[in-house]
């Protein structure tokens, strides 16, 4: 059974989250399996000619969670730890996120087990094109649309768009989102996830009667999401007192110069070696710094049963997908000193603007960045208000409230469509 092939810590975590909410929603056993299990999972070999002439066999994955309301949508991840089970969990979270944000998509996720930091540009391009070619029978603008995630970027999307378009014989920009603007990308897509995180942090600061001015923020992960979230919060007047990437972190209680750090990371591909004033800390120490807002924006399962008791923030803004383990979450839901912005809400800005990009590509009619941002904030605000209301009305933890909204809409769509044949 597919379920057995997907077993991994992240998949078990997504299933447990689902089951808790399905109990609350009182979803019956057969509907439960149907709504939870991924629809399709693919594993492909990706033979790639490396610069030294040898052929490396990478393994690529794609999981499409459900196709009940539209195509599936989700990122493509390049990382040494990518597994089928991890990708399946990420696809499930994408489904619930799209549903919560009112997008006509099921969730999907893909990945290739590789270390992109150790590969040349040519190797990355050949691997990406071969993976796209292997996936052609299973993707399409109305079947499955990919986007960047950890370790991938606009250039990777451009290669995918080119490979797919060469196969079709005409340009198909709507096959991926998060593309360069010159290929039909959307204004504001690159910044959308981090911008959304900063918007929601500000809304929650308001809700808790706290000011953004001088708010102390710590961000783990300084890639697309983490660096933009930090930059936006810095612009709103927050003090970014700690940031990190895979190489470790920097802490300065007086505040770091985020723009300088962004320039440094863009030049060197890492924060390592930056001359920014502050103490060098490990990622573990960074998560335990006293602050007002903690933003995990790197990998899954960073907040664990070991460190959750030592986390000292007022707001936990989950910019990464699945940064909190089930065991840590069980502790967190008892800690009313911490207000959680759950991942499916917190980082939804990315897929919302991906949806805008897809819509713009389908109609070949493009919007300005101001229009995109305005629509993004409206859609995020609606989702935030719905989650807040659901939590208040049913006395639910914020994660359960967000997942209950997302999952109940998918269950309803499946029920109304009926079971074929």
Sites of contact with ligand NAD (CB under 6 A):
148-151, 193, 220-226, 244-246, 283, 297-299, 319-321, 347, 350
109 labelled catalytic: yes
Please report how close the Cβ of residue 249 comes to ligand NAD at its closest, in angstroms. 8
Beta bridge partners of 74: 146
**Closer residue to ligand NAD, CB minimum distance, 167 or 268:** 268
What phi and psi, each to the nearest 5 degrees, are found at residue 106? -90, 175
Q: Smallest gap, in angstroms, from Cβ of residue 354 to ligand NAD?
A: 8
> What is the DSSP pairing of strand 72-79 with strand 55-64?
unpaired
Phi, psi of 94 (to 5 degrees): -60, -40
Q: Which of 123/411 has CB closer to ligand NAD?
A: 123
Q: For 162, phi and psi rounded to 5 degrees?
A: -65, -45
Q: What SS3 class is residue 142?
A: coil
**Is the distance from CB of 182 to CB of 157 less than 8 angstroms?**
no
Q: Which is nearer to ligand NAD, 228 or 401 (CB)?
A: 228
Q: Closest distance between ligand NAD and the C-beta of residue 416, in Å? A: 29
Q: Name the residue nearer to ligand NAD (CB basis): 32 or 83.
A: 83
Q: From the CA atom positions of the chain, what is the Rg in Å? A: 20
Nearer to ligand NAD by C-beta: 298 or 372? 298
In angstroms, give the least distance from the CB of 28 to ligand NAD. Answer: 32
Residue number closest to ligand NAD, CB atom: 223
| Residues 158, 89: Cα–Cα separation, whole Å | 26
Catalytic residue, chosen from 73, 109, 179, 239, is 109
Q: 37 and 11 in contact (C-beta within 8 Å)?
A: no
For residue 210, give Cα distances in angstroms to 5, 113, 242, 314, 341. Answer: 46, 42, 20, 10, 15
Cβ atoms of 47 and 123 within 8 Å: the answer is no
The nearest distance, CB 107 to ligand NAD, in angstroms, is 12
- Catalytic center residues: 109
């Amino acid at each position: 059974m597919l379920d057995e092939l997907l077993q991994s810590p992240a998949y078990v975590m997504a299933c447990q989250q689902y089951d808790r909410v399905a109990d609350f929603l009182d979803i019956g056993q057969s509907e439960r399996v149907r709504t939870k299990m991924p629809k399709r999972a693919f594993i492909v070999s990706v033979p790639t000619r490396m610069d030294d002439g040898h052929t490396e066999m990478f393994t690529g994955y794609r999981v499409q969670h459900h196709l009940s309301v539209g195509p599936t949508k989700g990122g493509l991840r390049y990382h040494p730890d990518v597994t089928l089970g991890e990708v399946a969990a990420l696809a499930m979270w994408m489904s619930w996120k799209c549903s919560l944000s009112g997008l006509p998509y099921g969730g999907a996720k893909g990945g290739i087990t590789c270390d992109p930091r150790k590969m040349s540009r040519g190797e990355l391009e050949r691997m990406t094109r071969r993976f796209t070619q292997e996936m052609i029978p299973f993707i399409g603008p109305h079947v499955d649309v990919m986007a960047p995630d950890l370790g991938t970027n606009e250039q990777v999307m451009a290669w995918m768009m080119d490979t797919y378009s060469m196969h079709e014989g005409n340009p198909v920009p709507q096959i991926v989102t998060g593309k360069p603007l010159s290929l039909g990308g959307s204004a504001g897509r690159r910044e959308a996830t981090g911008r959304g995180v900063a918007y929601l942090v500000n809304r929650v600061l308001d809700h808790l009667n706290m000011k953004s001015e001088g708010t102390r923020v710590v961000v783990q992960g300084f890639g697309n999401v983490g660096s933009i979230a930090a930059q936006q919060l810095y612009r709103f007047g927050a003090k970014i007192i700690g940031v990190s990437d895979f190489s470790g972190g920097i802490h300065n209680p007086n505040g770091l110069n985020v723009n300088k750090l962004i320039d440094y990371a863009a030049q060197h591909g890492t924060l390592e070696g930056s001359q920014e004033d502050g103490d060098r800390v490990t990622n573990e120490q960074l998560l335990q710094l006293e602050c007002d807002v903690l933003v995990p924006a790197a990998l899954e399962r960073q907040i664990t049963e070991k460190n959750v008791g030592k986390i000292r923030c007022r707001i936990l803004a989950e910019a990464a997908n699945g940064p909190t383990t089930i065991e840590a979450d069980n502790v967190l839901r008892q800690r009313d000193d911490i207000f959680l912005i759950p991942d499916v809400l917190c980082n939804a800005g990315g897929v919302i603007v991906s949806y805008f990009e897809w819509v713009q590509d389908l109609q070949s009619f493009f919007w300005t960045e101001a229009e995109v941002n305005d629509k993004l904030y409206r859609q995020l605000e609606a989702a935030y208000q719905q989650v807040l209301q659901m939590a208040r009305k049913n006395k639910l933890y914020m994660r359960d409230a967000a997942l209950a909204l997302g999952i109940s809409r998918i269950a309803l769509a499946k029920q109304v469509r009926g079971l074929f044949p």
